[in-house]
A and B are shown apart, each in its own frame.
Chain A
């Protein structure tokens, strides 16, 4: 009797775990959009990069500014940094491009260096192009100014 009971419990646990396993597998495979694992999905069209050369507003003061132009085939590697040929301090007069922020010339300890700091060298770690496309995830980010205004309005009501 005892043995039978154990068997039934084991079966139930197994069935439940299988069911859960299938359910979570479905949830994990979101990036494939339900395409079976043995077939290839049609890739989405590659969106065009914004190339209008118009600065966009920063959403918060510390936000790394977005790149408002195309950067196809720009080398940023051990040999060369194409971004610096316009945005380096000594290049900005000729290029009229914004200089990289002063923090990029500082090392960890806050000492100023003559050249861009190695830890800031790879521009694309923080700065990105913009493409004309839908948001991948819904974003409910609110500008700080909006929040302040909301709160001010609220406290006025009280």
Chain B
């Protein structure tokens, strides 16, 4: 076994005997395209609602709760899917988020939230993660669709325009500060500012 590793190390360090540098470069390039493309395709496949609700934890809890809300059913038929709010669009942040989300696999394997009661017991903790994330990135996922610069205060209700034109405009508050629980049920809110 050890001998095999020594041989491998020696071979990797030696120049190629049989293949031309052109073939190796081109081969490397093509293999690179295939692997890179494959990686991104696989990544995008995990970035769909279908994938998310492939687990019953998501399908029976958060997905069902979302169905009544305005981000799922509304007059114009534009709707948000899970990754629209829960995964950043830019590549670097997306990879960071996906890496963090790999903990979900752990949870799935060990059944951390595999019943409604277990999920509800963890709801506050899970919600706090999302609030912290959106607070830290200034509600980036909200703003991917809701652009402050194009908000028409005249068509908003009085109280909405009042708050958007002051606290939000000044940057004192960000979307998630007021709009918690807009797509899923709220956890126990005791001790949270504004509740």
Q: Which residues of A contact B (CB under 8 A)?
A: 51-54, 69-70, 72-73, 75, 77-82, 84-85, 91, 96-97
Contact = CB atoms under 8 A, between A and B. Distances in A.
10 contacts: A70-B157, A75-B181, A75-B185, A79-B123, A79-B186, A80-B189, A81-B189, A81-B195, A85-B195, A96-B162
Nearest to B192: A80
A80 B158 contact: no
B68 A73 contact: yes
Give chain B's interface secondary structure class: loop
B187 interface: yes
Contacts of B158: 52-54
Contacts of B68: 73
Nearest to A97: B159
B194 interface: yes
A81 B187 CA distance: 11
Given A53-B157, A53-B158, A80-B186, A73 B195 contact: no
Given A79-B185, A79-B186, A80-B186, A72 B195 contact: no
Interface of B: 68-70, 123, 157-159, 162, 181-182, 185-189, 194-195
Given A80-B188, A80-B189, A97-B159, 20 more contacts: A52-B158, A53-B157, A53-B158, A53-B159, A54-B158, A69-B157, A70-B157, A73-B181, A73-B182, A75-B181, A75-B185, A77-B185, A79-B123, A79-B186, A79-B187, A79-B188, A84-B195, A85-B194, A91-B194, A96-B162
A52 B70 contact: no
A139 B181 CA distance: 39
A69 to B, nearest CB: 6
A96 B159 CA distance: 9
Contacts of B162: 96
Contacts of A80: 181, 186-189, 195
A105 B16 CA distance: 84
A72 B70 contact: yes
A77 B188 CA distance: 9
